Chains A and B, each alone.
Chain A
Amino acid sequence: MSNARSLIADIAAAIAAQDIKIVDLTNILSPDFPVIVLPSEFGQCEPFRMETVSRYDANGPAWYWNNISMNEHSGTHFDAPAHWITGKDAPNGTVDAIPSQDFFAPAVVIDISAQAAADEDFIVTRSFLAAWEQANGPIPPRHWILLRSDWSKRVGALSYLNLRDDGAHSPGPDADAMRFLVHDRDCVGLGVETVGTDAGQASHFDEPFPAHSILHGNGRYGLQCLTGLDRLPTFGAMIVAMPLKIKGGSGSPLRVAAMIARA
């Protein structure tokens, strides 16, 4: 293991020398960052809230701090297997129990930005992935699959949640694509720029919410509301994604970073 020890030293040196760049893939967690909207018969996601306790004032003359509150699934956030009913019995399915080895994993970036720009309801299918592998090479096992849709560039605009009278419109995968990524490519999880791993209209699919259902049912994870995926290479990025250690938590806001080689 002395090899691994020198490897850590090499990485530290490379980060210090900026040969390894750290790319922040996290949106700013703010009260006005949109959260997912469910049909009104279901309980809703509370957005991030912040109230100042003191700011160098009578309530605390030398210190500044805030009380914050939020749903586990607000801002850039992590979905644990227990988030979905299919993953309710997954071993170590809550954020406090997930093996920490899983917080560090390489990523494959699949660029669907052109397709999503042309079709807001673009669906990533099994055949799309086959064609993608033809062009880019096979997706290696134990990788995060990151869907680069450029949706993060819409943050702050109506078109981010993209709610219309018939619900949200945003891209995502279908069930066959998810089964392929989970069973044939053994992915760590799926990371997206949209507010959910599933497409905006995924509740109407023949197999509804395929990303949530299939990922979590097989002990895989989700990352949502990512940004900056356009700065990552197709292969070769290392993702660091560590959710808060919330007892029995179904997910958590988190800081997501990627290590990439200097261009």
Chain B
Amino acid sequence: MTGVREKRDPLARKKLRHVPPELRSRAMHALSARAAQGRFVLQACTECGTATYPPRDACPLCWGELNWQDQPNGGKILSETSIRVSTDLYFRDHMPWRMGKVLLDAGPVALVHLHAALRSNDRAVVRMMTDRGGNAALFAIPAGENDLMSDPQWREFVVPIEGRIALVSDARNAIGRAMVKELQARGAELVVAGLPGPSLASDTTDAVLTLDRVQTIPLDVTDATSVAQAASRIGGPLDIILNTARHVRTGGVSANPHFAEQRRAFEVSAMGFSRLASTFAPMLAGRPNGAFADILSSAALSGDAGQAGFAAAEAARHSLLQAFRHEMRGAGVRVMALFTGPLEDTDHQHIPPPKVAPSRVASAAADALLNGREQTCVGDVAIDAMERWLTDPALFAREKNL
């Protein structure tokens, strides 16, 4: 890879990255799990109706039972302060740090991270973010259109694309191709497009692969040697990986099983994920805003009798992703999941609409990065699947495999 390497003193000790303090109550973890889905939820009392923050085990007013409810995310800044000294290793690297108190429209007063432009008495939009350690945190930003990325504090909660180097693991399929185009359009310094073999003469003339700031490399996630060679060819900084590799085939378990295809689905979705993640983890861990975003089928949640092998491989991939997220949390690398239903591509010709355009998945992935969202569902099928799975997973699995 050429031309875009940042310069660094080769003798300087590598900068160690830290993450914010991680210990949280169980109630707070429940909030983090919801924040990861991009929801603005707070606990509200089932007895007196009062919303409460931070998360608790019982209503602080009446000891009533609490449940999670989506809440309005506006608020008014009550006070502001800049923290200049801290003993915490993470915050020491980011001083000064602005915080403030906000009277949430939902009721409670909350301690929040504060955007640089906000002052006392300002109206604000409060975003439920996850911090670099994966825990929920409230971040107040000015209402209306904003250039959020210019605020260094905001950048700690998200994954900027502009000026960064990204790898798309499989740019041969429709999502991968769309992803390369999207990241390039969003200003990535370099998009490395992985191409599994066999190479085609048309690769050298393809409209997307020949874009400025796009480079292709051979990359086959089913081959450990190929993944290692790709890593050595990229060599220098790598900020973002978008894992678009998948092997979509129909077929059941006892009915019309095709074991070669089933095995390949696992080799690509599950083993491919592991090969990619293990090889590139150290490169991502060294970066200030490293991220690994994985495109998953919503069939991972429930199984799918029509494409049993693919769904099982995607479920395995989802499981591996959870473990990888745990491993990368300490390094502050965000591991993101994007669920999608059937795509408008050659893999899903037999499936009637609704289907999702690959470009829409790509644009949703870019938005997920730019908003630091751990989990995103793209398209009606995936959104519906996630809702039903969260509500009643046993019923959902039954309905999907009737």
- By beta carbon, the residue of chain A nearest B199 is A158
Cross-chain contact of A43 among B197, B224, B260 (Cβ < 8 A): B260
* Cβ contact within 8 Å between A32 and B225: yes
Interface residues of B in 211-244 (CB under 8 A from A): 218, 220, 222-226
Q: Does A51 contact B (CB under 8 A)?
A: yes
Q: How far is the CA of A46 from the CA of B223 in the complex (A)?
A: 11
Residues A49 and B222 in contact in the complex (CB < 8 Å), given A32-B197, A34-B197, A43-B258: yes
Min C-beta distance of B365 to chain A, whole Å: 26
Nearest chain B CB to A211 CB, angstrom units = 21
A114–B108 Cα distance when bound, in Å, is 84
Contact A43 B261 (CB under 8 A): yes
The interface residues of chain A lying within 8 Å CB-to-CB of B222 are 49
A94–B226 CA distance with the chains assembled, in angstroms = 33
> Is A165 in contact with B202, judged by CB distance below 8 angstroms?
yes
Chain A residues lying within 8 Å of B226, measured Cβ to Cβ, are 31-32
| Residue of A whose beta carbon sits closest to that of B258 | A43
Interface residue A161 (Cβ < 8 Å from any Cβ of B) = yes
CB-based contact A50/B198 at 8 Å: no
Please indicate the chain B residues that have their CB under 8 angstroms from the CB of A158 in the complex: 199-201
B223 and A49 contact, CB distance less than 8 A: yes
B177 within 8 A of A: no
CB contact between A50 and one of B225, B260, B261 (< 8 Å): that residue = B225
Which of A30, A34, A46, A161 lies in contact with B264, CB distance below 8 A? A46
Q: Count of A residues near B, CB < 8 Å?
A: 18
Kindly state whether residue A247 has any CB partner on chain B within 8 Å: no
Taking CB as reference atom, which chain B residue is nearest A31? B223
A164 within 8 A of B: yes
B198-A161 in contact (CB<8A): yes
**Which residue in A37, A51, A163, A165 is a CB contact (below 8 Å) of B224?**
A51
Q: Roughly how many angstroms separate A164 CA and B201 CA in the complex, as a whole number? A: 6
Chain B hits for A43, CB < 8 A: 258, 260-261
Q: Would you call B224 and A50 a contact (CB within 8 A)?
A: yes
B-contact bits for A131-171, CB 8 A (1 contact / 0 none): 00000000000000000000000000010010111000000
Q: Residues of B contacting A51 with CB < 8 Å?
A: 224
- Is A196 at the interface (CB under 8 A from chain B)? no
Q: CB distance A37 to B198 under 8 Å?
A: yes
A46 to B371, CA, bound (A): 40
Known contacts: A43-B261, A46-B264. The answer to whether A34 contacts B225 by CB under 8 A is no
Output the nearest chain B residue to A33 by Cβ-Cβ distance. Answer: B197
List chain B residues, Cβ under 8 A from A49: 222-224
Identity of the chain B residue whose Cβ is nearest the Cβ of A162 in the assembled complex: B201
Confirm or deny: A217 has a beta carbon within 8 angstroms of a beta carbon on chain B. Answer: no
Number of B residues near A (Cβ < 8 Å) is 17
Q: Are A31 and B225 in contact (CB under 8 A)?
A: yes
Q: Is the CB of A163 within 8 A of B201?
A: yes
- Which residue of chain B is the closest to A36 with respect to CB atoms? B198
Task: Judge whether A163 and B223 touch: CB under 8 Å.
Answer: no
CB of B36, distance to nearest CB on chain A (Å)? 33
In the complex, residue of chain A having the shortest beta-carbon distance to the beta carbon of B263: A46
Q: A158 to B218, alpha carbons, bound, how many Å?
A: 12
Most chain A C-beta atoms within 10 Å of own C-beta, residue among B198, B224, B226, B260: B198
Would you give the shortest CB distance from B206 to chain A, in whole angstroms?
12
Output the least CB separation between A179 and chain B (Å).
Answer: 32
Q: Which residue of A is nearest B203, CB measured?
A: A158
Q: List chain B residues, Cβ under 8 A from A93.
A: none
Residues of B within 8 A of A30 (CB): 225
Bitwise, B277-312 to A at CB < 8 A (1) or not (0) is: 000000000000000000000000000000000000
By beta carbon, the residue of chain B nearest A168 is B198
Q: Which residues of B contact A32 (CB under 8 A)?
A: 197, 218, 223, 225-226
Task: Give Cα A67–Cα B226 distance, bound, in whole angstroms.
Answer: 16
Give the complex CA separation of A209 and B264 in angstroms. 27
CA distance A50 to B222 in the complex (A): 10
Residues of B within 8 A of A52 (CB): 224
B260 and A47 within 8 A (CB): no
A residues in contact with B197, CB < 8 Å = 32, 34, 47
Report the minimum CB–CB distance from A233 to chain B (whole Å): 34
> Per-residue 0/1 for B179-193: is the Cβ within 8 Å of any A Cβ (1 yes, 0 no)?
000000000000000
B267 to chain A, nearest CB (A): 8
Report chain A residues within 8 Å CB of B260.
43-44, 46
Binary flags per residue of A21-39, CB closer than 8 Å to B gives 1, else 0: 0000000001110100100
How far does the Cβ of B187 sit from chain A's closest Cβ, in whole Å?
32
- Chain B residue numbers with a CB within 8 Å of A44 are 260, 264
Instruction: Give every chain A residue within 8 A of B198 (Cβ-Cβ).
Output: 34, 37, 161, 163
Chain B nearest CB from A132 CB (Å) reads: 32
Residues of chain B contacted by A34 (CB below 8 angstroms): 197-198
CB neighbours (8 Å) of B220 from chain A are 31
Q: How far is the CA of A164 from the CA of B204 in the complex (A)?
A: 12
B200: nearest chain-A partner, CB-CB: A163
Contact residues of A between 174 and 207, Cβ < 8 Å to B: none
Complexed CA–CA distance, A49 and B199 (Å):
18
CB neighbours (8 Å) of A161 from chain B are 198
Other contacts beyond A37-B198, A46-B264, A163-B199: 10, CB < 8 A: A31-B224, A31-B226, A32-B225, A44-B260, A44-B264, A49-B222, A50-B224, A163-B200, A163-B201, A165-B202
* 7 CB < 8 A contacts A-B: A31-B220, A34-B197, A44-B260, A52-B224, A163-B200, A163-B201, A164-B202
Binding site for A on B (CB under 8 A): 197-202, 218, 220, 222-226, 258, 260-261, 264
Report the 4 A-B pairs with minimum CB-CB distance, sorted nearest first. A31-B223, A31-B225, A158-B199, A161-B198
